Amino acid sequence: MTAGIRIPFHGDPLAQAGTIALVVLVGFSIVGLTTNIFGSPTTLGGPALSVPGPGHALGTDQLGRSLMPRVVAGIHVTILLSAFAVMIAATVGSLLGLLSGYFKGLMDEIVPRLADLMFSFPAILLAIMISAILKPGTPSAIAAIVIVTLPVMIRVVRAATLTVAEQDFVIQARIAGAGLGRILALHLLPNVASVIIVQAAYSISFGMIIESGISFLGLGVQPPEASLGSLLHDGRVYLSVAPWLVFVPGIVLAITILSVNLVGDGLRRTIDPLIE
Amino acid sequence: MTPALAINDLAIDFRSRRGHVRAVDGAALTAACGEVLGVVGESGCGKSTLGMAIGRLLAPGALRVTGDILVDGRSVFALDDDALRTLRAEELGFVFQDPIGTLDPTRRIGLQVKAALPGRGTDREVEAVLFEVGLSDAGRVARSYPHELSGGMAQRVSIGMALARRPKIVIADEPTAALDASIKSQILDLLTGRCRATGAVLILLSHDLHAIRKYSDRVAVMYGGRLVETGPSSIIFTRPAHPYTAMLLRASIADVPIGGRAEPIPGAPPVLEGRCERCSFAPRCEWTEQRCTAVRPEARFIAGREVVCHRAESVIAGVRAS
């Protein structure tokens, strides 16, 4: 066998394309973060609003900052922020979903109702509200993503837990003397893990939309830091004179979200073939 | 001597949105060490509820109305959480209908058997358990995941797990209903053999009359949440005293002579909303008379068995007119 790189999702070209795109994007952002080949994202160097060219591969913004390093940093911030927030949402959501699905009863009346309540708000509106309450900045962007993705996570985990908890092996574990912690961690969690992973992938792409949405409105990541959303926010004024300031981050954002979604679809097809 | 298992006047309701439904309606039963007690009855008669109640493993909506279950003289409903866990782990073993569902699909067999063993459990103990239930390739089975086993092998594993701590009572709820006919008797041979070898009581819940007759020392016939006839299987299967037992025997294909016809029992089992104040079988019974629909029959000892029927003497004698 050739010593080539094996791409996951064999026989699923869309998911493979998504994986490659994501690896390239993340690779760019890691290189940009650790080395200085793209230049610094915050240095005010060149002339303002210069056209893409040899000096500045993607041109410069209104303050003369090179766009290339800012986009690379933006990818990093947008993906990482969303992934971090989704990790929190997945942890909390899994725990609540597991408890709600396992105990049923009162617990199962309260938790899903709360989730429904949160679910009934338009996501962006909820996110804006949270940023407004907390004061604009990275923490409020994270909080907004957590709160918006949490209800779906709870619902999905609860539904999966309901079916798993009915199985005899859960009763068998109780007979063997297993306590609540052991049943949740060793028997229920591994059996709903696939659902959590797939839902987390979708949540990350949704989180990126939320993040860029509130950053575009000026409520998320604050200057001089850059996220793809805040780059759109900064560039929108110069759309007619320097369209690259909007198009480049816009296209990169679209590709990032699309590739995360494709990977999510691939994960779902691999892990849970019954859904198809 | 206290019996290994004693169930006294047990009544269990299930709460639903439309009110209470009674699943077990004053059941009484005792079982002694080392015996195989078969419990027969149609679906919905309360067999499974009775079995799960022994380990206090009822669904959250279930409610004990009256009565008690004593395991080795101790009431299972009076135990605190720790004592209940100890009781389940040390004195009870359960074997369920679907062997694959009894095993966690995400864990290797060896790990699951280990969890059923006392203390930490070692690989050698795991292999000993698997070997005892006839899985000669114990090492390979221990490394397998449940989906890699056949139904029969998985049921052997779950029998091994149920008996790993030498429980006093083993409850087997339709242990062969999900298996091929060809391996049913192998599994029942194994189950009854292991229970006899360890001195455990085996409560065999089934609607397979043929298997119950072959494997049980005593039989309890369940109808409408009550044990309507209980006694040695040799007596009950040859001279039933309860009309329901008699009809079950005539409905069983295995007992119909060649060229004969199995007779289905007309009607449907009752859905009780509380204590039944008459004979719950009266609407389907061919022996019904006035008092059957007016007075709740109580258990009586007649001709070597306990029976819950006003007309048991006539049923044994075969005299229908009253």
pLDDT of residue B255: 66
Do the Cβ atoms of A172 and B86 come within 8 Å?
no
Contact yes or no for A176 and B89 at CB 8 A: yes
* pLDDT, tens digit (0-9, with 9 covering 90-100), for B16-25: 877 888 999 9
What are the backbone angles phi and psi of residue A10, rounded to the nearest 5°? -60, 130
Predicted TM-score of the model (pTM): 0.81
**CB within 8 Å of chain A, chain B residues 154-193:** 158, 161
Residue pLDDT, tens place only, A82-129: 999 999 999 999 999 999 999 877 778 888 888 888 878 888 888 888
Which class for B259: exposed (0-12), middle (13-18), buried (19 or more C-beta within 10 A)?
Answer: exposed
User: Could you tell me the CA-to-CA distances from A268 to A9, A197, B139 in Å, in that order?
Assistant: 11, 9, 34
* Chain B residues whose beta carbon lies within 8 Å of the beta carbon of residue A179: 85
Distances A18 to A25, A37, A249, B267 between C-alpha atoms, Å: 11, 26, 18, 61
Of residues B320 and B100, more confidently modeled: B100
A189 touches chain B (CB under 8 A): no
From chain B, the residues in CB contact with A169 under 8 A are 101-104, 112
Q: What's the pLDDT score for residue B187?
A: 92
pLDDT at A1 over 50: no
- pLDDT higher than 70, residue A275: no
Residues 14-33 of B with CB under 8 A from A: none
Calculate the dihedral angle through the C-alpha atoms of B78, B80, B82, B84, rounding to the nearest 10 degrees: 30
Partner-chain contact B105 A168, CB within 8 Å: no
Res B270 pLDDT > 80? yes
Structure-block tokens of residue A105: 């009863």
Identify which has the larger pLDDT, A5 or B7: B7
Domain B5-91+167-317 in CATH 3.40.1440.10? The answer is no
Burial class of B181 by CB neighbour count within 10 A (0 to 12, 13 to 18, 19+): exposed
Alpha-carbon gap, residue B230 to B237, rounded angstroms: 11
B227/B32 Cα distance (integer angstroms): 17
Domain A81-256 grouped into CATH 1.10.3720.10: yes
Rounded to whole angstroms, the Cα distance separating A267 from B315 reads 65
Chain A residues whose CB is inside 8 A of the B85 CB are 177, 179
Tell me which of B253 and A201 has the higher pLDDT.
A201
Q: To probe the interface with A, which of B79, B86, B106 has the most A CB atoms within 10 Å?
A: B106
- B39 - beta bridge partners? B205, B220
Do the Cβ atoms of A162 and A101 come closer than 8 Å?
A: yes
Does the beta carbon of A122 lie under 8 angstroms from any beta carbon of chain B? no
Which chain A residues are Cβ-neighbours of B106 within 8 angstroms? 187, 190-191, 193
The answer to whether residue B177 scores a pLDDT higher than 90 is: no
Using CA coordinates, name the residue in chain A closest to B158: A172
Per mean pLDDT, which range of B177-181, B252-256, B316-320 is the poorest? B252-256
User: What mean pLDDT value characterizes chain A?
Assistant: 86
Highest mean pLDDT of the ranges A86-100, B45-59, B199-213: A86-100
Residues 6+ positions from B80 with CB-CB distance below 8 Å:
none
Q: How confident is the model at residue A276 (pLDDT cuts 50, 70, 90)?
A: very low
Chain-wide mean pLDDT for chain B? 89
Q: Taking the alpha carbons of A84, A85, A90, A96 in that order, is the dihedral positive or negative? A: positive
Q: How far apart are CA B77 and CA A98, in angstroms?
A: 27
Kindly report the nearest CA distance between residue B77 and chain A, in angstroms.
15
- Closest residue to A171, CB basis, from B57, B105, B116: B57
Phi, psi of A152 (to 5 degrees): -65, -40
Window 191-230 of A: residues touching B by CB (8 A cutoff) are 191, 193
Select from B48, B83, B81 the least CA-distant residue to B62. Answer: B48
- B10 SS3 class: strand
Where b means 16+ CB within 10 Å and e means fewer, A245-272 reads bbebbbebbebbbbbbbbbbbbbbbbee
Token digits of residue B214:
């072959």
For A168-223, write each residue's pLDDT tens digit. Answer: 899 888 888 788 888 999 999 999 998 999 999 999 999 999 999 888 888 888 87
Q: Which range, A2-6, B117-121, B175-179, B253-257, has the best average confidence (pLDDT)? A: B175-179
